[in-house]
């Protein structure tokens, strides 16, 4: 799975800054506005991301790395609260955000209600 990114509006390969009828500009703007499957925030510009299912599922490369790392940590027997705290530190996010990103709907890492995540407070 190769990562790609959308250039900033107004740059050589980016969409126009203002509304236009160009073939690629509209779709690129829509992609940049689409939410990441893990963090739910817009994909944005100049940020590496992966696409799946014919561009219907987009994931920031960084978020995908975070999830991979969480899977490794859990398989190595790390407790969920410790994992959340460490990932928050490494990725410079709040523990709240990391908990949100690692819900089972997104990653399948945790049971529907994960007591470990409940306990990991900021």
The contact set with Zn ion (CB under 5 A) reads: 16, 20, 22, 25, 36, 38-39, 60, 63, 80, 110, 114, 116-117
In the complex with Zn ion, the residue whose CB is nearer, 18 or 54, is 18
Output the CA torsion sign for 60, 65, 71, 77. negative
Instruction: Report the C-alpha gap between 62 and 65 in whole angstroms.
Output: 5
In the complex with Zn ion, the residue whose CB is nearer, 22 or 89, is 22
State the minimum distance, in angstroms, from the CB of residue 4 to Zn ion.
Answer: 14
Record the tokens describing residue 71, joined without a space.
């899977």
State the minimum distance, in angstroms, from the CB of residue 54 to Zn ion.
Answer: 19
In the complex with Zn ion, the residue whose CB is nearer, 23 or 54, is 23
State the minimum distance, in angstroms, from the CB of residue 109 to Zn ion.
Answer: 6
**Residue from 62, 70, 7 nearest 36 by CA:** 62
**Residue from 78, 75, 77, 69 nearest 102 by CA:** 69
């Amino acid at each position: 799975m190769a990562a790609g990114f959308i250039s900033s509006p107004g740059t050589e390969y980016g969409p126009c800054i203002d509304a236009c009828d160009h073939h690629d500009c509209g779709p690129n703007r829509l992609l940049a506005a689409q939410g990441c499957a893990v963090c739910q925030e817009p994909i944005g510009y100049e940020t590496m991301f992966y696409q799946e299912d014919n561009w219907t599922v987009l994931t920031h490369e960084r978020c995908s790395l975070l999830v991979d790392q969480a899977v490794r940590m859990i398989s190595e027997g790390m407790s969920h609260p410790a994992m959340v705290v460490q990932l928050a530190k490494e990725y410079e996010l709040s523990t709240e955000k990391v908990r949100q990103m690692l819900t089972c709907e997104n990653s399948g890492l945790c049971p529907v209600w994960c007591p470990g995540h409940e306990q990991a407070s900021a």
